[in-house]
Amino acid sequence: MFCQNHDISWRLQGERVTPKRLAGMMLKLQAIGCHNINWVTPEHVVPQILEALPLAVDGGLRLPLVYNTSAYDSPESLALMDGVVDVYMPDFKLWSSERARRYLAKRDYAEVARSSVREMHRQVGDLVLGADGMARRGLIVRHLVMPGLLEETEAILRFVADELGPDTYVNVMAQYYPAGRTGEFPEIDRHLYRSEFECALALADELGLRRLDVRSRSALARLAA
């Protein structure tokens, strides 16, 4: 409903590729200096990824594999990726079933997201960085703070602190802006206030989350009072 990439994510774009070509695309990304292979919302193509990966590895692929997702993933897909994914990067959006129904049209979103994030953490553990500061393995939990929904933020951050632990790497994001169909929901059809994001960061500190992405705090400078 409020996807920041609504202009491209809701269009039918793309092309069919064979496993061999997909493997070649991964190798090309490695050749031009990319730091990882980042699969965005990939649940529906997990079998195709798994078919192409052995070809890419045989061809010399050595980059970390990133599973970049909304956290609304099936346990079957995550089970298939166990031992394959290096870095899981879920975006845990909302906590309450009623708001998930209203804004995501998925009443069970939070329940599924909690289960998914737990499983991701079980598979890869806390984030490990290389000597170059790049993510090598582990979990990065992202949360987009939304206007007027700080109780959702508090519940999600509390879940992370209590169930995953204070060493979980968390990116609290401030880049929300009205997009997609937010005009249908007046209460979120505005930009985030600086005071709201300050509260979100204070909550993370109060809950003892020690590994907050540096971009989370630097985002304050870009927000209007």
Check if the beta carbon of residue 187 is closer than 8 Å to that of residue 148: yes
Check if the beta carbon of residue 180 is closer than 8 Å to that of residue 144: no
Indicate whether 91 belongs to any domain. Answer: yes
Residue-level pLDDT at 220: 79
The 8-class DSSP code of residue 126 comes to B
Region 114-137 average pLDDT? 96
CA dihedral 13, 110, 115, 158 (to 10 degrees): 120
| Token pair recorded at residue 35 | 């730091």
Residue-level pLDDT at 217: 85
In this prediction, residue 131 has a pLDDT band, given cuts at 50, 70 and 90, of very high
Whether the predicted pLDDT of 1 surpasses 60: no
Residue-level pLDDT at 221: 77
Tens of pLDDT, residue by residue over 65-91, are 999 999 999 999 999 999 999 999 999
| Domain assignment of residue 179, given as a range | 6-222
Indicate whether 84 belongs to any domain. Answer: yes
Higher pLDDT, 164 or 224: 164
Indicate whether 1 belongs to any domain. Answer: no
Residue-level pLDDT at 11: 61
Please report, for the domain that includes residue 193, its CATH number.
3.20.20.70
Number of domains comprising the chain = 1
In this prediction, residue 10 has a pLDDT band, given cuts at 50, 70 and 90, of low
Indicate whether 149 belongs to any domain. Answer: yes
Indicate whether 117 belongs to any domain. Answer: yes
Q: In this prediction, what percent of the chain has a pLDDT beyond 90?
A: 84
Region 197-217 average pLDDT? 94
Residue-level pLDDT at 4: 52
The pTM score is 0.92
Q: Which residues contact 49 (CB under 8 A, 6 or more apart)?
A: 22, 39, 42
Indicate whether 135 belongs to any domain. Answer: yes
Calculate the CA 166 to chain-centre distance: 18
Indicate whether 39 belongs to any domain. Answer: yes
Tens of pLDDT, residue by residue over 16-72, are 899 999 999 999 999 999 999 999 999 999 999 999 999 999 999 999 999 999 999
Indicate whether 196 belongs to any domain. Answer: yes
CA distances from 5 to 40, 143, 172 (A): 12, 16, 18
- Mean pLDDT rounded to a whole number for the chain: 93
Residue-level pLDDT at 180: 83
Q: Are strands 169-173 and 211-212 parallel, antiparallel or unpaired?
A: parallel
